[in-house]
Structure formats: structure tokens, C-alpha cells
Structure 1
Amino acid sequence: MRIVKALASGIDSGELRAGLPMPSQRELARQLGLHFTTVTRAWSEARKRGLIDTQPGLGTTIAAGEPQPGPLRENAAAGSGVMDLSSVWSPVLKIPFDLSSALIALGGDQGIALFSARTGRKDSRAAPAAIEWLQPRFSKAIEAHVVASAGARAALLAVMRLVVGNGGTLLTESMTWPTVRGMAGMLDIRLRGVAMDDEGLIPASLEQAARETGARALYCVPTFQNPTNAVMSVARRKALAEVAVRLGLTIFEDDVYGQLVEHPLPPLAEFAPECTYYIAGLTKCLSPSMRVAYVVAPSARAASQLNDLLRTTMLCPAPIEEALVNQTMADHSALRHIAKVRAEARLRMSIAESVFVEFRDLIHVGPLFIWLKLPTYWHRTQFAEVARTQGVIVSPADIFAVDGERSENAIRIATGAAQNQSRLRDALQIIADIVSTPAALSVPGN
């Protein structure tokens, strides 16, 4: 876009006159220190705008006639063209039948009664259909261990209060979901980041951090870790579970992304059932409006204690939301919708991989977001600012770092937040163009 703007500016000023020959794409790429494909994309955009002509035997020249207006993206930050890819959500699919039919099924006297039902009733055990959805992930029966909460965030807040308590220490990945930091601050809980590799938490680092801090609990995301998209192998899961059991650590396992893969790996809770609170939410795999999550507690007693805390703090689901989820689970429309979200996520992953094919060594693509490690000529905060000026909002790694001084030089791009696949492709192409351009050439005014 900087190249296109420079051409347009030169034409407007009269410096670049109609018929003036332009250097070859390869020569311009060499002069500017850019990837050849970046110049190719710039030339393609310039031709669309009527800035240049390419004719056999004559090469590329400045075009005659009036240039055409360019797309909104160069001024997107000033208007409605802004694409906010900073928050992770499931794609909003226009599939009204499945969920609206469940609302209809809740009609009549039963539906009306839900508006007067009290949140936080004494018996908050999960419905049989929800347990049927969860059970295949476990080899042992979980019926007496499952309670419902008002989303994964509410579940995590409750188990942090129940297990860690005010003034305690919680271990987590060195790069973690920012909300965990906010909730820890509310409860006066200290966070300690644990070193990671491409599979997530490193068992030896977990053991060292636990011994140094005396921490009693660990929060982690084994499948598509937020923000790095790391996925633990079965061997890694077993190794972490062994450390937790040996040291008496309680695990808070967040599996909000687990249902977005065709063949999910067994949860950590399968290898350490006696010390794991397994959390499965619906906002990422079903619908952002489904603020219902399920917690599989280590024991029936632990489930009862968690249920009491959820009721006391009103962190349990609203009756009408829970009834809607139960209905969609019972008639299997929720499972059909999850399958459609999973398919859409696969398509968006394919788009990301095709756009960033030049940078395949820098990206980790997951179903709902991309972790992009930046070239050395870019700093994450500067990159995010340049992307914002071109109409795309992304998240620099600093907001995820438990210890800000150890932040990776990377950004997270939330692919599920794009309105549709076309908008996603446009946004990712803008980001890829910025990555291709050394920082000094991308900052306005340079």
C-alpha cells in the first residue's frame, strides 16, 4: 500500500507523467529490499486503480487517464472498514434453524416459567444431555462430578477462589489469556509464568516453579493454547499429569478449543482425574451468546463445594440460557452447529496458511487465531500500530506475557472475529503485506 500511495502521489504532483517507464518488479523489489511478491501485489493493486499499464514489449508504464479510487482499506481506521481481530470468538454463522428451533421448543408454559425461575437454585447438576456430550472424553463415569457455570470465565474464577484463595500463587503458561491476570488481581492471587516450548508447558519447568513458589494450583490450556496455539502431545500430557500428582498440584484445565478439532486428544483430566478441574465452555465452539460452561470436578465432594460457591456468587447459568443449551444438547442441534463451526474454522485456517505461505516458519495457525512471530526488523507494538492505521486491529504479545519483560516478539490475530471469509482474507493480506515490508518503509512519514 505504501508503494501504491507513492505512485498516486507522484502522479498527482506531476512528477510521474503518463507513459513514463517503470522499473521491473524484480528490480524494484531489490531496490526497496522487499519480497518480490510484495511488489507484485502492489503492481496488481496499482493496475486496478488505473495508475499503471503493462503492455507486451513496452513493459510497465504510468497510465494515461484518471486514476480510479482505491479500496477502503488504506483509510479503514477512519471509518466503518476497521476489522477488529483482537478478541477471540467463534465465527458467527448464519444458521438460524438449529438454535431458533430450540427456542421454539421452549415455548408455552414451560418457556414462560423460565423467566421466573431463580438463578442459583440448590440443584445445579448438569443435565443428562450435557453429561452425554462430555462423557466420551473420559474413561470413568463423570455424572456425579459435573456442575454448570455461567461460562468458562465464571468457572475459572470460582475454582481460583475455591482452591488458591486470597493471597495464594497460581502457576500458568508464561504467555496466557489476559483475563487470568485480571481475575488474579481481583483475588489478590500472584501469578508465576512457567516456561513453554512448541508443545506448551515444559514439565521440568513446572516442577521447578512449583518448588520455588509453593504454589498449589496450575492453570493451562493443553489444546490450542491461547495465544501461542501450542498443542500438547499425549506424552507431554502424561508427563505434566505425573508432575502435578507427585507435587500435589491442582490443575485447572481449560478446554474451550478442544471441540474444534476433528479428533480431540484425551484431556489432562484423564491422566490426573483426582486433581484436575476440567472446564468445557460453549462460547468458542457453539455461539458467543451461549454463556454456559461445564466443570468436571475431581470428586463428587469437590463438585458439591464448587456448586455451593457458584450459587453463592451467582456465577451459575441463568435458567433460560441453561434451558436453551440443554434443549440443543438433547435434540443434537448443538452438535450439528459445533460441526459447522469446526468446518468453518478449518476453512479459515486454510485461508491463513495460503496468505502467509511465505512466512510458514513464523506462524502457528489454530482454528480461531494465529500466532505470528515477527521478523527481526519489526517490533510487536510498532507492527500493531501500523496495522491499526491500515484498518486491522491485532494483539501484540505484551498483553499475554505473565512477565512483560519476557514477552515474545509476536502478535495474535483472531480469525474467528472476521465477519466472513472474504473480510478475513483482506485483513490477513494487509498483515502479510506489512510483514513483507521492513519497518522503516511502513511507518507513515518515513
Structure 2
Amino acid sequence: MSSPTHHWIKRLAEIRKPAYLAIPDLIEEDLATGRLRPRDRLPGLRDLADELALNYTTVARAYAEAKKRGLLDSRAGSGTFVRGRTATLPLSGGSSIEMTMNTPPEPAEYAARLRESAARLMAASDPYQLLRYQDFGGTPADKAAGAEWLKRRLPNCSADNVLVCPGIHSALVALVSQLARPGAMICLDTLAYPGIKAIAAQLGVRLQALARDDEGPLAHAFEALCKTDKPSAFYCNPTLQNPSTLTLTHKRREALADVALRYNVPIIEDDAYAMLPLQAPDALASFAPELTYYVTGLSKSFGAGLRVAYLQAPTARQTQRLAGALRATTVMASPFTVSLATQWVNDGTAQEMLNAIRSESKARQAIAARVLGDGAYDAHPEGFHLWLPISGVGGWSSSELALQLRNQGIAAVASAAFSTDGNPPNALRVCLGGSKNREECEEALRIIAETLEHPHHLHSAVM
């Protein structure tokens, strides 16, 4: 059996910080991506020191730091184990508030509409048809609906180049498997969706972070990499980026696409949040249509359970190749879910739901601005997550603060989960959509604000 920490050897060589600080980051990263799970046993100090070619003292310091962050437990005579979810204290509502998973809010007024549309779909369908195998990549009707949805961002979208996928993550698995062989490299921002990190690790693909500024990855850094070590693809989450909420400007998109065109590097444009803003710069696919694989989905627009994504490939031939990859990795999307998505796109429910979610997101962002202070964090008024820098909070790391918030019933995600260069900023991602209502959202934000305002509370024991 291979060691759960063997891949740390390579990661430690890439991270620009002392090993005793890097190892806790790697534990947190592996927890976020699912490579490590609560109650997994880690190697003993001497075994890990031998495996990583480090001295015993360094590994002992690393485990001590990880315990301080609440990532590990040690049991005399049993070993060292990954710690599970920290027990939370009940809030006034009686349960913890989920702000880790980036899900849209759920407008209460739409519950009846959703029940009615699902019932109408079942009444009008052959139920056994929904239990049978479907066309790989979607039926013509489902592809047509997908093309209509994509035309909001890609006016020239053709259904011939569209695939219907069981969620964006599965589309990314197919794309990475097609574009990058094991050992090859994909470049991306220094902060990225944790799923792309997990996919790359699973498929043996290297990720190379590009230097960035306040507007995102630098085009000249992309070009320098293309000259020395041509990447198999450039991965980008350009609109309301997860986690930083950054939207790349028109100029930056154009510059990055220009480099991709000059060096013939395929672009994976993960535009999961693209439909939320009323206005956004043109998609990268509009600057480099012959190179860009554009994917967006419905889970970030309506709800995580609606695992339907639409992927546009540059050509019909490439679309068919990707359909084969999807068949190998996921077989097909759920027929009922896809039929529901097609119905929503065609009858206007999708647009009405999107408008309602934008409205609810605006209301929750207004609460965040009032409670946390406008300018204290990065966000978009029509998005449902925020990026909260915590520099100066008593010298604590983001992972330590996340642990303290969990002890108070608030679940947020520390920056290490998103870092691709091993040097995460001191920040938290907070999702506003997971709270059941605005009152619960405000209560959670007030606890966060109180913790930030009075960092000495972090030193208090949780009873």
C-alpha cells in the first residue's frame, strides 16, 4: 500500500516555505481535496522523516504546528490521526451555520415553483425513459437547450459543439484527461478551485502557478512559461473567481488569450459563476475560439444538486472526442436532472430563478457590508461568496481562525485549500448562500466580525 504522504515529497520541493510550516499546509490541502479524510492515520515521526528525507526535529515541529491548527490528534500507543470536523457549539438557531460549500441561496418563494415544475416533468414523461441509458453528451433537445443557455456568454454557440455533462467537475476530469498526459503540466492562477487540484493529482498532472497582480494571472508570466516549458493547457476561472471573487478585466482576458494563440496552448475556461453578474467582460472563448473549451453549469446558478453542465469545445470533432472521455469517466448525466434543466431553460424558469438568486445574493452582500464594513473584504454584489483577508488578526493563520470559527458554529474555508503555489494569503472564503435565511446569515457574519474585532477571544478555551 502506498503511503498517504508520498506525494508530499514533490510538493515540498515546490513550496517556498520551511518544511515544518509546509507540512501542515499540505495536511489541510489534502483534507480539502479529499486525499486525506478524518481519522486517517499518518506515519510516525521517524517514518515520515525517512520518507521525506527530513530530520526528525523538523517533522516533530510540523506535527506540533498541525496539532496547534487543530488538524491532527495523537493517541499514546496508537499513533497520529487526521482530525475530523471539530464539534461545534449550537447557535441560537440550534445548529452550526454552513459557510464552507459555495452554494447559491435558496429563495423561499421559489419552492412551490420548483415542486410544480418537477411534477409537470414527471407527468409529461415516460418514467421508464428516464431510467434508461441516454445519448452520451446529451440528446439533441438537451444540447439545444444548453446552447441557448451558453449564448448568454457565447453568442455564436452551436449545439453541434455542446456536450451535456453531469456537473462542471466531471467536465474538467474529461478535459484534463484529454489535454494533459500524466507528468504533463497545466498552468493556472495562484488561487484556484480545489477540485482542479484534486483532478490533477488523481491524473498525475502537474500544476504550475503563474505570477499574478491585483488583476489576475500575468500574461508575461504565461508567455515566459510557454517559452521554457510549454503547458498542456491554461486553466482559468475568470468570472467571480472561486475563491477570490476576482473578475478578469477585458484587457487581461485579451492579453492571456493572445499568449495562448501565439503558443497554441488550449484554454480551459471554467466559468461556473458567469451567469450571476448582470454584466461581465467577454469570455476568453470569444478571443480564442479555436483553442478554448468553455464550461459552465447550473449548480452555481440554482443549487448544488442540479449537476448539469454545458461544455462547448472548439470543433465538432473535439466535441466527439470529449464525449468519449465523458463516457469513460461518468457514463452519462442523470436523465431526470437533465430533463428538468432543459425544461427550465425552455420555459423561462431558469431565468426567473437566476433573477431571484441575484436578488437574494444582493441582500446578503448588503448585510455583509453593514456587519463587516464595506471594503474589509472582496466580493461582487451579485455573487454569494466573499474573500476575507485576516492579516493583523493577532498573528493567527487563516487555518487557526477557521478552526476557532468552527468552534463557534461557523464553517468557513482557509486559503490553503485554494493555493496552487504553496504560499497562500492569510484569508478565508465565506459563503453567504449556505445560511437558510438572511437572519442566520447575519448572525454568522456578526460572529465573524466579533472574532476579528476581538482577537484575544481566540485564546479563550471553548467550553
- Tell me whether the two structures share a fold, i.e. TM-score over 0.5: yes
State the shift of 1:217 in Å: 0.2
Q: Which residue of 2 aligns with 1:422?
A: 439
Amino acid at match of 1:185: A
The one of 170, 175, 195 aligned to 2:186: 170
Larger radius of gyration: 1
Q: Which residue of 2 aligns with 1:311?
A: 327
Alignment of 1:91 onto 2:105: yes
Structure-1 separation of matches of 2:198 and 2:135: 25
Q: Which residue of 2 aligns with 1:110?
A: 125
The one of 159, 165, 175 aligned to 2:175: 159
State the shift of 1:143 in Å: 2.5
- Residues 152 and 401 (structure 1 numbering): CA distance in 2 closer, same or farther, change over 3 Å? same
State the shift of 1:417 in Å: 1.2
State the shift of 1:321 in Å: 1.2
- Residues 77 and 252 (structure 1 numbering): CA distance in 2 closer, same or farther, change over 3 Å? same
Q: Structure 1 length as normaliser, TM-score?
A: 0.78
Amino acid at match of 1:161: S
The one of 370, 384, 390 aligned to 2:408: 390
Q: Which residue of 1 aligns with 2:83?
A: none
State the shift of 1:247 in Å: 1.4
Native 8 Å contact 1:200 1:225 kept in 2: no
The one of 405, 411, 414 aligned to 2:428: 411
Alignment of 1:379 onto 2:393: no
State the shift of 1:208 in Å: 2.3
Amino acid at match of 1:401: S
State the shift of 1:396 in Å: 0.9
Q: Give the aligned length.
A: 369
State the shift of 1:198 in Å: 2.5
SS at match of 1:259: coil
- Residues 224 and 123 (structure 1 numbering): CA distance in 2 closer, same or farther, change over 3 Å? closer
Structure-2 separation of matches of 1:184 and 1:229: 23
State the shift of 1:106 in Å: 2.2
- Residues 111 and 195 (structure 1 numbering): CA distance in 2 closer, same or farther, change over 3 Å? farther
Q: Which deviates more from structure 2 when the two are superposed, residues 104-113 or residues 178-187? A: 104-113
Structure-2 separation of matches of 1:445 and 1:426: 21
Q: Which residue of 1 aligns with 2:288?
A: 272
Amino acid at match of 2:129: L
Amino acid at match of 1:393: A
Amino acid at match of 1:76: P
Alignment of 1:342 onto 2:389: no
Task: Please list the CA deviations of residues 294-316 of structure 1 after superposition, one character each: whole Å capped at 9, or x if unmatched.
Answer: 00111111111111221233353
Task: Please list the CA deviations of residues 80-133 of structure 1 after superposition, one character each: whole Å capped at 9, or x if unmatched.
Answer: 421121110111233123322322332347231333321454864543233222
Q: Which residue of 2 aligns with 1:299?
A: 315
Structure-1 separation of matches of 2:325 and 2:101: 29
Task: Please list the CA deviations of residues 321-368 of structure 1 after superposition, one character each: whole Å capped at 9, or x if unmatched.
Answer: 1111111111111111111111111111111111111xx444101312
Structure-2 separation of matches of 1:433 and 1:275: 48
Structure-1 separation of matches of 2:154 and 2:130: 35
Q: Structure 2 length as normaliser, TM-score?
A: 0.75
Structure-2 separation of matches of 1:309 and 1:166: 15
Native 8 Å contact 2:143 2:159 kept in 1: no
Structure 1: give runs of 5+ residues left out of the alignment.
1-73
The 5 A counterparts of 1:193-212 are: 193-212=209-228
Structure 2: give runs of 5+ residues left out of the alignment.
1-87
The 5 A counterparts of 1:56-205 are: 75-76=89-90, 80-94=94-108, 95-108=110-123, 110-121=125-136, 124-125=139-140, 126-205=142-221
Task: Please list the CA deviations of residues 130-151 of structure 1 after superposition, one character each: whole Å capped at 9, or x if unmatched.
Answer: 3222223224342221111000
Alignment of 1:258 onto 2:260: no
Native 8 Å contact 2:136 2:332 kept in 1: no
What is the CA RMSD across the aligned residues, in angstroms?
2.2
Alignment of 1:234 onto 2:247: no
Structure-2 separation of matches of 1:314 and 1:441: 47
State the shift of 1:442 in Å: 2.8
Native 8 Å contact 2:146 2:159 kept in 1: no
